[in-house]
Amino acid sequence: MKKQVLGLAMIMVASAGAVAPVMAADEAMEKVTQAALLPTRLGGVVAGTVLGTPVAVVRESYKSYIDLTGKGAEAIKGKECGPACLLVSVFTLPAGLVVGGVKGSYYGLKNGFMKGFETPFHPDSFSLGELDEK
């Protein structure tokens, strides 16, 4: 009986060893894998840059416009005063578009290149996540 149990245990160990994946740290295989991912990563960079930059520009322009309008209205009479916000928004709209265009272009290109290469076609590469890291 002991021989049967021992034989069964040896068969189980041998079959588990044959089925288990090989976990060797082979540098050549890593290079081949990275080379195979290169077209996907380049596509992720191009798509992230082309589609993510306009998204980032729109998001930053809106954010800059709201921030500048709030700061300008606080300087006059307060954010709660409608006429003050209306008066200030005439001047902050062009400023918000310029500031948002510059910052959005920077963040869109940065996200497209960096995140598009690291994680291709991820929402962060299209500037849909956080734009600036703090």
For residue 37, what pLDDT is reported?
Answer: 86
State the angle between helix axes of 82-110 and 27-76 in degrees (0 to 180), rounded to the nearest 10: 170
Q: Where are the domains of the chain?
A: 44-128
Q: How many residues would you count in the chain?
A: 134
What does the pLDDT profile of the chain (134 residues) look like in tens digits? 665 655 555 565 555 545 555 555 578 888 888 888 888 889 999 999 999 999 999 999 999 999 999 999 988 888 788 888 889 999 999 999 999 999 999 999 999 999 988 888 889 889 888 877 54
Q: What are phi and psi of 24, to 5 degrees?
A: -95, 140
In three-state secondary structure terms, 18 is helix
Q: What are phi and psi of 121, to 5 degrees?
A: 60, 25
For residue 15, what pLDDT is reported?
Answer: 55
Q: CA-to-CA distance for 80 and 134, rounded, in angstroms?
A: 29
Kindly report whether the global pTM for this prediction surpasses the value 0.85.
no
From residue 3, alpha-carbon distances to 9, 10, 62, 126 in Å are 10, 10, 78, 63
